[in-house]
Amino acid sequence: MLIGVIIGSTRSPRVCPQIAQFILDTIERSKSYQELSEKPLLKIIDIADWNLPLYDESNVPSQIKRSEDYDHEHTKLWSLEIQKYNGFIFVTPQYNWGYPAALKNAIDYLFNEWKGKSAAIVTYGGHGGTKCNEQLAVVLEGLRMIPTQSRVLLSFPDRDTLYAAASGKDLGLSSNPSGDLWTTEKTQIEATFNELFESIVKTQDL
Ligand SMILES: Cc1cc2nc3c(=O)[nH]c(=O)nc-3n(C[C@H](O)[C@H](O)[C@H](O)COP(=O)(O)O)c2cc1C
């Protein structure tokens, strides 16, 4: 089983890669994951690496069944990448009460590659990104994906942390596993992973 951990922001500097890595590390260190006899592989997908232009395909993606039928090489490659995964964890900041346009653009490029797959949503911001968490769930449902009921909302505890995140400073998340930030949220991350894992097993008959 392969699970993609999608980095939802693309600006430079940014904090999202640190948070995506924290999610991945928290899952891999969790009791639930450790006890699995067949452990899923978690792999980071950074949409910034894909450098996708603003949507420039001539067709509606739901009508495309094969990667080779897309117009552009960047879409064909993005399609082949997303096809590889059994499920996803979207990790995204809240931008002005929504999620970043770059993430929506990357999502919109494809349809059948997402369809039927389970997904967990992790959002962060001053108030945990509650608004964009809900919005992303609606979009994933539109793609006929299966979002987990359990969600992860990571709130920056104070202004200093928010500013440190905004300037891409090291929040010491993964380098210091017993650090203070988001210790209680680790239980929620583990519960969300468990739901995602079970959903993938159930829906994909794995
Ligand atoms: C365009 C933009 C809009 C933002 N809007 C919000 C917001 O609505 N709510 C919030 O809590 N933080 C907001 N922030 C602050 C972000 O939470 C913070 O900058 C965070 O580091 C963004 O994630 P990133 O570094 O991965 O881009 C915004 C930041 C940017 C760049």
pLDDT per residue of the chain (206 residues) written in tens, 0 to 9: 999 999 999 999 999 999 999 999 999 999 999 999 999 999 999 999 999 999 999 999 999 999 999 999 999 999 999 999 999 999 999 999 999 999 999 999 999 999 999 999 999 999 999 999 999 999 999 999 999 999 999 999 999 999 999 999 999 997 777 778 999 999 999 999 999 999 999 998 77
**Spatial distance between the Cα atoms of 100 and 177, rounded to a whole number of angstroms:** 28
Closest residue to atom 21 of ligand 1, CA basis:
166
3-state secondary structure of 191: helix
Task: Answer whether 93 contacts ligand 1 (Cβ < 6 A).
Answer: yes
Query: In this predicted structure, what is the pLDDT of residue 113?
Result: 98
Residues ≥6 apart with Cβ < 8 Å to 26: 186, 189, 190
Task: Answer whether 100 contacts ligand 1 (Cβ < 6 A).
Answer: no
Query: In this predicted structure, what is the pLDDT of residue 150?
Result: 98
Tokens of 83: 């096809």
Q: Tell me, in angstroms, the distance from the centre of ligand 1 to residue 194's CA.
A: 28
Q: Which CATH architecture has domain 2-204?
A: 3-Layer(aba) Sandwich (3.40)
Q: Tell me, in angstroms, the distance from the centre of ligand 1 to residue 94's CA.
A: 6
Domain residue spans of the chain:
2-204
- Mutate which of 95, 103, 104, 169 for ligand 1? The one with the most ligand atoms within 8 Å of its CB, which is 95
**Spatial distance between the Cα atoms of 38 and 25, rounded to a whole number of angstroms:** 17
**Spatial distance between the Cα atoms of 145 and 121, rounded to a whole number of angstroms:** 12
Q: Tell me, in angstroms, the distance from the centre of ligand 1 to residue 135's CA.
A: 16
3-state secondary structure of 201: helix
Q: Tell me, in angstroms, the distance from the centre of ligand 1 to residue 50's CA.
A: 21
